[in-house]
Amino acid sequence: MRKRPIATNDPHIQALARIVGEQAILYRKEDLMAYDCDGFTVHRHLPRAVVFPNSTEQVAAVVKYCHEHDLPFLARGAGTGLSGGAIPLNGEVVISLTRMKRLLHVDLENRRAVVEPGFVNLKLTNSVAHRGYYYAPDPSSQYCCTIGGNVAENAGGAHCLKYGVTTNHILGLEVVLPNGEVIEIGANGVPDPPGYDLLGLLTGSEGTLGIVTKITVRLLKNPEAKQTVLAYFDEVEDASQTVSDIISAGIVPAALEMMDQTAIEAVEAAAFPVGHPKDIAALLLIEVDGISAGIDEQIDDILTICRRHHVREVKVAQSEEERARWWANRKTGFGAMGAISPDYLVQDGVIPRSRLPEVLNEIANISRKYGLRIANIFHAGDGNLHPLVLFDASKPGETERALAAGSECLKACAAVGGSITGEHGVGIEKKEEMRFIFTDEEILAQTAIRDVFNPKNLLNAGKLFPTPGRCVETKRIPSAVK
Ligand SMILES: Cc1cc2nc3c(=O)[nH]c(=O)nc-3n(C[C@H](O)[C@H](O)[C@H](O)COP(=O)(O)OP(=O)(O)OC[C@H]3O[C@@H](n4cnc5c(N)ncnc54)[C@H](O)[C@@H]3O)c2cc1C
């Protein structure tokens, strides 16, 4: 970071600079522009300033200052969020956690580690892999997203089908509350601790209840064996039915991913092509892991199910190198859309697995209705769809059409008993769509919880819940939930 003397008369900037140091604050417009959005690039707003604290004490002092002076503020990790959670809608002071990136402690005997919030997800597995351990939640952005951001979004990933999402791997948190107080929550693995489950509440709260400054995570032992299958289908229905039948057969794959034809076109045109046939309707990437005994039988069962559903070609990875290439191809799937479209929106609906064919059909109808291509690349095993709406923001009206198409995809998910987000959070992107799944009363109950932690609503305001003025937030909170 460049060291430049503070050149502003803004007393708040001067005060914040005294807390974090003059070299750890940005306030000039040209510097702030890099923080005007996150992975949801449709909305852009400049923050008032960006501060880079290097300790819990500094985070707490910044928050206390903002609280006392009624300055809106929010936390930011790597800025890879796809729902706009880190966008400074209200000219916030952005508290970037990227300097708090230390691995503080590894305790393999008790299978846990303690990290600062800016520690990058993949670095944790890389730090313990040589000792036979790993950190399970593996969002496709894991090479750059932070564990603090993962906690806030309750991030998932390809291998979360068998091992669970972030909340299943968090044992304790240190949190700076919106008034600057520091608390520790979580009972470090005690199965049924007394009191409310604050750990569960904070995980996935999208940075609206507090700023996480320390995280104790669970580490898992590397599985003894692993095998990966790639299956090509001529019909989406056959691929979908294969997904259902694998799970119904009692097999719980570590990962069960699906891509449709448009997604395959993109990944084959991008950085890690593996030679998938371009004329197939869908592919499945299936991984099983565990103790060696039984893995071969599971693979045999999976191959049989694929054949029962008219698979065109199915193969098992013959080496770790081949497996890694298949995964690189899949994990860069979102970014690969840039190879076939100038802009894209990532949606994140959830549906019961059994409704896959019907909802994919509905998404195809939505694509036709709006005249926009929609690629599907998703965690099929847990019904977590990612329709990617392709558009060109330079064409008048196309961004609005893309947003409307994305919203309709979520409506289709909600209509079959699903949800509007499986892992990317609500942020600003889906806050109006909360109405697809919650009643006014249910939203009020949730905003009442936020108000207990964040009574001035200075922390990350305007996220997660429908916009005040158009929604329930303007109604009185019933005393029962106050
Ligand atoms: C190519 C790509 C692939 C992706 N794949 C996946 C995927 O497979 N699974 C998945 O779940 N997500 C995925 N994502 C979304 C994103 O990476 C995750 O949501 C991730 O958890 C965000 O982490 P971050 O550090 O970038 O957080 P940011 O984007 O900086 O912040 C996200 C939210 O968390 C809050 N926040 C950040 N740090 C803290 C903190 N310390 N305390 C409190 N609140 C905080 C912010 O205020 C904001 O609301 C993907 C994104 C991209 C760009």
* Tokens describing residue 460: 């990350």
CA-wise closest residue to 81 among 35, 31, 145: 145
Q: CA-based diameter of the chain, in Å?
A: 72
99, burial (CB in 10 Å: exposed 0-12, middle 13-18, buried 19+): middle
Phi, psi of 67 (to 5 degrees): -60, -45
Q: How far is it, in rounded angstroms, from Cα 89 to Cα 430?
A: 15
Whether 82 lines ligand 1, by a CB cut-off of 6 Å, is yes
Helix axes 356-370, 236-248, angle to 10 degrees: 150
Whether 152 lines ligand 1, by a CB cut-off of 6 Å, is yes
Tokens 């840039």 found at:
338
415, HSE (Cβ side, Cα atoms, 13 Å): 11
Among 54, 83, 153, residue to substitute to test ligand 1 (most atoms within 8 Å of Cβ)? 153
CA-wise closest residue to 229 among 168, 306, 336: 306
C-alpha dist (Å) from residue 357 to 17, 191, 286? 55, 39, 18
Q: How far is it, in rounded angstroms, from Cα 449 to Cα 209?
A: 9
**How far, in Å, from the CA of 337 to the mean position of ligand 1?**
19
| CA-proximal residue: ligand 1, atom 33 (nearest) | 85
Tell whether pTM > 0.85. yes
Whether 460 lines ligand 1, by a CB cut-off of 6 Å, is yes
**How far, in Å, from the CA of 142 to the mean position of ligand 1?**
9
Whether 334 lines ligand 1, by a CB cut-off of 6 Å, is yes
| CA-proximal residue: ligand 1, atom 9 (nearest) | 139
Partners of 176 in the β-ladder: 182, 211
For position 481, what pLDDT does the model report? 29
**How far, in Å, from the CA of 149 to the mean position of ligand 1?**
4
CB 171 within 8 A of CB 215: no
Beta-carbon neighbour count of residue 401 at 10 Å? 16
Whether 150 lines ligand 1, by a CB cut-off of 6 Å, is yes
| CA-proximal residue: ligand 1, atom 23 (nearest) | 149
For position 193, what pLDDT does the model report? 84
Q: How far is it, in rounded angstroms, from Cα 348 to Cα 346?
A: 7
For position 355, what pLDDT does the model report? 92
**How far, in Å, from the CA of 425 to the mean position of ligand 1?**
9
Whether 88 lines ligand 1, by a CB cut-off of 6 Å, is no
For position 36, what pLDDT does the model report? 98
Whether 149 lines ligand 1, by a CB cut-off of 6 Å, is yes
Q: How far is it, in rounded angstroms, from Cα 238 to Cα 446?
A: 40
CA-wise closest residue to 417 among 323, 325, 352, 357: 352
For position 181, what pLDDT does the model report? 98
**How far, in Å, from the CA of 458 to the mean position of ligand 1?**
20
For position 354, what pLDDT does the model report? 87
Grouped pLDDT means (10 residues each) for the chain, 482 residues = 74 97 96 97 96 98 98 98 98 98 97 98 98 96 97 95 96 98 88 89 98 98 96 96 94 96 96 95 97 94 98 97 96 93 96 92 96 96 95 96 97 97 96 96 96 98 82 41 28
**How far, in Å, from the CA of 166 to the mean position of ligand 1?**
12
C-alpha dist (Å) from residue 82 to 155, 343, 364, 464? 11, 13, 22, 13
**How far, in Å, from the CA of 157 to the mean position of ligand 1?**
12
C-alpha dist (Å) from residue 298 to 48, 286, 308? 55, 11, 15
Helix axes 295-308, 236-248, angle to 10 degrees: 140
Whether 79 lines ligand 1, by a CB cut-off of 6 Å, is yes
CA-wise closest residue to 347 among 260, 281, 254, 413: 413
For position 3, what pLDDT does the model report? 58
